A and B are shown apart, each in its own frame.
Chain A
Amino acid sequence: MVLFNKVTKTYANGTKALEDVSFRIDQGEFVFIIGASGAGKTTITKLITRQEAFDSGEVVVNKYRLKTLRNSQIPYLRRTVGVVFQDFRLIDNKTVYENVAFAMRIVNAPAKEIRARVPHVLSLVGLSHKAKAYPTQLSGGEQQRVAIARAIINSPSILIADEPTGNVDPNMSREIMDLFQAINDRGTTIIVVTHELSLVRRMKKRVIQLDGGRILYDKVGGGQE
């Protein structure tokens, strides 16, 4: 669950990135966030994961009220939110398997559980055969799917992807959307930030469009320009 109520965010240099933004995303929803470059899309994801603080309003993510969240609680908030970055952020000197297992080790998962779950998730994203490969030996789409596997390995209740289709061809971006749909079918909330309107139209999901830090519209069924 993500709740924004009259949220305003100004960066340290004075840039006003969000202004009076309110929306609510319930558990199990699939939502696109669209908008021109600089509209504030990434800023929303940074607020959800508490990379950035905000000036005023209220942000609630799952059971965490971010305005009063103590620093020591941030790791636990982040364990409930998986993030797929546009630049993937994989560790080059670890194999695909290790990159994913690493995320489980960080949350103190027992070795037995890691050995059981990592192959399962790798097969879910269709990368079982690449488990021993290194990120630099993979295509952009494959790296993307490793990043998705890592983001969902700890079963977060929310999955956020910032421009997940920015670096891949249309075929691949369709496959990735299918993967998100499969993850969403298991009950995980999906939030996808994107520029690709064709994709958004085809998926027929709820769309939140931002413009200059404000919400332009928020409705189900595709976009207009």
Chain B
Amino acid sequence: MKRINAFYFIKEGLKNTFTQGFMGIASIAILLSCLVIIGIFMLTTENIDLNLQNIEEQDEIVAFVDEILTIEEAQDLKYVIDAVPHVKDSIFVSNEEALKTFEGQLEGAEDVMAELEGDNPLRHSYRIFVDQIENSSAVADSVRMIPGVIKVRHNEFVTNNIISLRNVFSVAAFAFFIILLALSVFIIYNTIRLATVARRKEINIMKFVGATNWFIRWPFVIEGLIIGLLAATLAYFCSWYLYTYFVDNVFEGINIVKLLEFGAIRGRLALIFYGVGILIGVIGSAFAIRKYLRV
């Protein structure tokens, strides 16, 4: 592309976007709405994921050690437990520590302690962490088989529910994302197509005077690009405003839910907005003009 041409194409593209008036504005507005919805969805997904992770981290397996083992033997079990596939980490909790925790947690523990007279009725135990929540049932089963482990506590119900909840959510999020994407392409396609219909005569004349296809295409592609860029920029600021407003006003004072800072996700959001905006703008316009080039 020669320099004078690039200048001409950009000028034409800009002129088209803004002199088309209503259609240019309308398509920016519609793409903007689509992007904001994608953004809201992404922010929601990220936050749900964050909170699921919190729950997942609480999903631990506790293995109790047979009391006939000495404390050294019990501590050596760590090598066996850590060797089980999908175990990320394990922490040995001696019966002493367990008793102290118990003491600190329970009201009126002093009375019980007094009654025990120095005896410790608790077992040594291991807190076991798995690499992925999907594997926790298998890990629990394997640990149960280890000689010296007498009992394993693991809440399968919670685990399974978290897994299915997360799976359903990812599938729904992905499907929704694809639908919005398709919708945006369709809208831009139609906008640029209307623009080309309005300028059909001009395109036709260009063809007869000997313009190459790319010469005709560039201004429309740039128009799509401008629409995409503007919509992405606006969508970014809209999402920012909406999200902070939402976090500050709606979720204020609700502590059970953890919420991401906008700053933690702005990079990815911007990437998606600009990526989707530019891609859709350019692809939509290139497709829309295809028909008129066949003269």
Contacts and interface: CB of A to CB of B under 8 A. Distances in A.
Are A and B bound to each other?
A: yes
Interface in B171-212: 201-202, 204-212
A110 B4 contact: yes
B205 A91 contact: yes
B2 interface: yes
B204 A75 contact: no
Contacts of A77: 210
A78 B215 CA distance: 15
Nearest to B216: A106
B226 to A, nearest CB: 20
Interface size class of B (residues with CB under 8 A): 10 to 19
Contacts of B2: 108
B4 A75 contact: no
Dominant secondary structure at the B interface: helix
Contacts of A91: 201-202, 205
Interface size class of A (residues with CB under 8 A): 20 to 34
Interface string B204-235: 11111111110100000000000000000000
A91 B213 CA distance: 19
Contacts of A194: none
Contact of A49 (B8, B208, B212): B208
B202 A107 contact: no
Nearest to B19: A93
A108 B209 CA distance: 12
A9 interface: no
B16 to A, nearest CB: 12
B142 interface: no
B210 A108 contact: no
B210 A83 contact: no
Nearest to A99: B205
A76 B201 contact: no
B204 A108 contact: no
B210 A106 contact: yes
A89 interface: yes
A108 B208 contact: no
B254 interface: no
Nearest to A106: B211
B5 A75 contact: no
